[in-house]
Amino acid sequence: MVSVIIRPRLESDLPQLVEQLRAQQPVSEYPLRWPLPLPPEQFIVRDTELVAFVAQIDDRVVGHVSVTRVSDDPDGAFWSRGTGRPIQALGCLSVLFVGPEAAGLGVGGRLMDTAVAEIRARGLTPVLDVTQSRSSATAVYRHRGWRFLGHSRPDWLPDWAPDVQFFALPDDIGRILLSGTVVRGHGVASGTGRDARHPGGTIAAQTPHFTSRGVDLAGLEPATINLSLDAATVQMVRPTITLAGLAWTDQHDAETFSLVRCSALNGDQRFGGYLYWPHPETKPDHFQPDSVIELLMPRITGLTYGDRLTVDLPAGAIRIS
């Protein structure tokens, strides 16, 4: 079975991404023309980009997706009318492509899931557009629950190109809500457990290493919320991000971490963060019970042990039994 890792895009990925974009264009017709009238790096990295991710198989980058701001222009107005939400409440799934060598491996779906999770964790509604010539792409979007809003001819569209179709993902598609009880952990993540190896806490020690791999934990507490899911057994299935072989300490071997972009719901408040999953096979100690998940979140004022908390997760990210 091929192992696919989704991680944030790094600048060093761009040469491989340009080659994959070129290689897949004759089949996908994305972008509409090749060669492009601008450097392909500028096509991949947009001025409106919020964050971008790549798919990796072994040491090869094989796919890409980004999340971009929706501009206050006719396209943005079209999405806004179709969703009933203001332009600033929308996030666009953009620049999605998969190289020929990874076709049929589910890489595109994984990239889509990651982008949607990122958009929703920011409190935005996911939208996208696609030209009608990409019939296979529109079929995939419809199958995955994206709602067709209509078609248009934006100013940037060449005269010879077919119309652009606009889609949005309804709020009830592709997500699950799980509730649990906040419980005490080992105190190692926060440093309150007085582990002499990591007196400032493991999250604080790991943060700069996460940053070097493109994962920005700014605004999140340097500690985890431990949430017990009512005696369930939890398994990681489809993380939104995986960081393999992270050598963050000289106290033990490198670890692999998976993250799921998610939100925590506390009353009428929503907080964007991550489900944090150190892989058990590389974690040296301080294991959590099978029913407990760890969350990296902003400070949730007043939250204490014994409180109930709900997590909004991408469907299929974890398995509960």
The residue segments making up the domain with residue 92 are 4-173
Residues 53 and 90 in one domain: yes
Q: How many domains does one find in the chain?
A: 2
The CATH number for 278's domain is 2.40.30.30
Amino acid in position 46: R
pLDDT for 191-230, tens place per residue? 998 888 889 999 999 999 999 999 999 999 999 999 999 8
Residues 180 and 168 in one domain: no
Residues 76 and 162 in one domain: yes
pLDDT for 139-176, tens place per residue? 999 999 999 999 999 888 889 888 999 999 999 999 99
pLDDT for 27-42, tens place per residue? 999 999 999 999 999 9
What's the average model confidence in pLDDT over 259-272? 97
The CATH number for 169's domain is 3.40.630.30
Residues 258 and 133 in one domain: no
pTM comes to 0.95
- Among 153, 173, 193, residue at a domain's last position: 173
Residues 107 and 220 in one domain: no
Residues 102 and 38 in one domain: yes
- Among 128, 157, 173, residue at a domain's last position: 173
Residues 213 and 166 in one domain: no
Residues 240 and 299 in one domain: yes
What's the average model confidence in pLDDT over 47-73? 97
CA angle (190 as vertex; 189, 192 as ends), nearest 5:
115
The pLDDT value recorded for residue 2 is 82
Residues 277 and 293 in one domain: yes
- Among 123, 145, 173, residue at a domain's last position: 173
- b/e code 171-205 from CB counts within 10 Å (16+ = b): eeebbeebebbbbebbebbbbebebeebeebbbbb
DSSP-assigned letters across all residues of 136-198? HHHHHHHHTTPEEEEEE--TTS-TTSPPEEEEE--TTSSEEEEEEEEE---STTTSTT--TT-
Residues 14 and 155 in one domain: yes
